[in-house]
Copies of this chain bind each other. A is one copy, B any other.
Amino acid sequence: MHVGFIGLGNMGHGMAVNLLRAGHAVSAYNRSPAKVDALVQQGATRAITIAEACRGGVVQTMLADDDAVEHVTFGPDGIVASLPPGGTHVSSSTISVALSRRLCAVHADAGQSFVAAPVFGRPDAAAAAKLFVIAAGAPAVLDVMAPLFDAIGQRTFVVSEQPHTANLVKLSGNFLLATVLESLGEAIALVGKAGVDPAAYVDILTSTLFNAPAYRTYGDLIARKSFEPAGFAATLGLKDVRLALQAAEELTVPLPLGSLLRDRFLTLLANGGGQLDWSAIATVAQHDAGLGG
């Protein structure tokens, strides 16, 4: 398939490489063009403009946030203006439900298709084609795009026909991960103040009831107080919790855990921890327990 790919950050680079490996023809665009070089060496075509990346009729975006997606999508040189009628925009970024709704409407008005396909997985999973793809959109379009999803991930879950529900599921996943951070922070503060070694405690948890990647990865970071460099910065954690709360408010759904997480991230940021890994919200529980945080 001919596919344009926009956004060659830590995640996007690995995804685009795997599209190439699977035999797709990739036209790559990035705001800072230096990042395109490595991909060209692996067989991609360099797109100088967004319009060039849209020429094949399918374009996938993997960008940092709402602003970045709006920037490449709207305006006279953006995706909506550049995609041919009948073209498809596959959005894999973690964006707001509201923006996803808007993208869906704008593309429909332009006679184009919009599909949301956010992913679960970190950069190493992206590089290894081991992502999980959460897809939503018109079934016929999803069928056509399936080879792209197969190229980047180990499994695709189709959520519904409304693209924004895939974004909601993605945000809910990050919300659930953040609750794991907070719960581990509190539990480790509790047993730690009683003299139990945090690392031994995390080993117990992850050997028994909580034998899951989320608990192993973050339990280890929290037990070792290893928050730099950030795999995912606290400022981004706050952003995703905020997006989950906004989506929930639009649906009139209270999320008391989300509210608590928001307060914890704000406390961390207000005390200088915005650039730490988001698992550093565990230090708030530590501080509140008089453990020096």
Contacts and interface: CB of A to CB of B under 8 A. Distances in A.
Nearest to A167: B194
A186 B256 contact: yes
For chain A, what secondary structure do more than half of its interface residues adopt (helix, strand, loop), or is it mixed? helix
Interface in A244-268: 244, 247-249, 251-260, 262-264, 266-267
Contacts of A232: none
Most buried by B among A200, A204, A254, A272: A254
Given A204-B157, A209-B213, A253 B195 contact: no
Contact of A209 (B162, B173, B256): B173
Contacts of A207: 132, 155, 157
Given A177-B209, A191-B165, A213-B211, A269 B252 contact: yes
Interface size bucket, A side?
35 or more
B247 A190 contact: yes
A106 interface: no
Contact of A255 (B190, B215, B244, B254): B190
A17 to B, nearest CB: 22
Most buried by B among A180, A195, A209, A262: A209
A210 interface: yes
A179 interface: yes
Interface string A251-293: 1111111111011101101111000000000000101111000
A290 B132 contact: no
26 contacts: A132-B204, A132-B208, A157-B200, A157-B203, A159-B204, A160-B196, A169-B191, A169-B201, A169-B204, A172-B190, A172-B201, A173-B208, A173-B209, A176-B184, A177-B209, A183-B257, A186-B253, A211-B212, A211-B213, A242-B249, A254-B262, A254-B266, A254-B267, A255-B263, A267-B289, A270-B289
Given A209-B213, A259-B262, 18 more contacts: A120-B208, A155-B207, A157-B204, A157-B207, A159-B204, A165-B191, A175-B183, A190-B248, A190-B251, A190-B255, A212-B212, A249-B262, A252-B266, A252-B269, A253-B289, A256-B260, A263-B288, A271-B290
Which 10 residue pairs are nearest across A and B when measured between Cβ atoms? A270-B290, A212-B212, A259-B259, A254-B263, A254-B266, A179-B183, A253-B289, A267-B288, A252-B270, A132-B208
Interface of A: 97, 120, 132, 134, 155, 157, 159-160, 162, 164-165, 168-169, 172-173, 175-177, 179-180, 182-184, 186-187, 189-191, 193-196, 200-201, 203-205, 207-215, 242, 244, 247-249, 251-260, 262-264, 266-267, 269-272, 285, 287-290
